[in-house]
Amino acid sequence: MTAHVVEHLSRLSEAEFLGIYEALAQQGFGPLDHEVAKSLNFRPQAIRNLPMAQRAKRARQILASKKSAELCYELFGSYLIKDRRELVTGFLDATGVKHEQGMVEDLDSICPAADKLDSAVAKLDGAFAKADVDLYLSMCADQWPQVPQLEALWRKRVGA
């Protein structure tokens, strides 16, 4: 079975992935530009000569070909914590998960309360883009497989 974050990667439009990629750019470099440069036999500095959309497209191809849940999780998690921390903390607070500014110390012993998922997600839907909520739910489904309602909720929302 494919990790939910890898499956979610395949569901993102090019524009959605580019938005995530650009949000994580620092000093003109995208988050996976080193891997992109390596795959194209470019020197790391030379990668900046390519348009960000082209680099993002190649980065997405690399992620998809490797089916790397860890890299997807890191990329999506970085985006959400950097630009949508209130989404993450709102979900965790609403479902009773103890955290420090969105970071959960022990994923194995602390789970979201299944009976609070629907109300938590409804609240998030009122404040954030559906695409961002769905992205976070894909991560939650991977984080807490012992809460099958998370996967069911994510699958229902993305039409899987």
% of the chain surpassing 70 pLDDT: 99
Confidence band of 29 (pLDDT split at 50, 70, 90): very high
pLDDT band at 44 (very low <50, low <70, confident <90, very high): confident
Residue 2: pLDDT band (50, 70, 90) is: low
Neighbouring C-beta atoms of residue 50, cutoff 10 Å: 18
Mean pLDDT, to the nearest integer, of 128-151? 96
Q: Return the bridge partners of 87, or none.
A: none
The tens digit of pLDDT for each residue in 112-132 reads 999 999 999 999 999 999 999
Phi, then psi, of 103 in degrees rounded to 5:
-100, 125
DSSP state of 160: -
Query: In whole angstroms, what is the distance from residue 72 CA to residue 92 CA?
Result: 21
Cα gap 57→85, rounded to integer Å: 25
DSSP designation for 113 = -
Confidence of residue 1 (pLDDT cuts 50, 70, 90): very low
Token pair of 52 as six digits? 């960000």
In this prediction, residue 157 carries a pLDDT of 96
| Matching residue, tokens 């994580």 | 24
Among 25, 31, 78, which Cα is nearest to 59's?
31
Whether 137 has a pLDDT exceeding 80, the answer reads yes
Report the greatest alpha carbon distance in the chain.
51
Rounded Cα distance, 13 and 29, in Å: 21
107: confidence class by pLDDT, cuts 50, 70, 90: confident
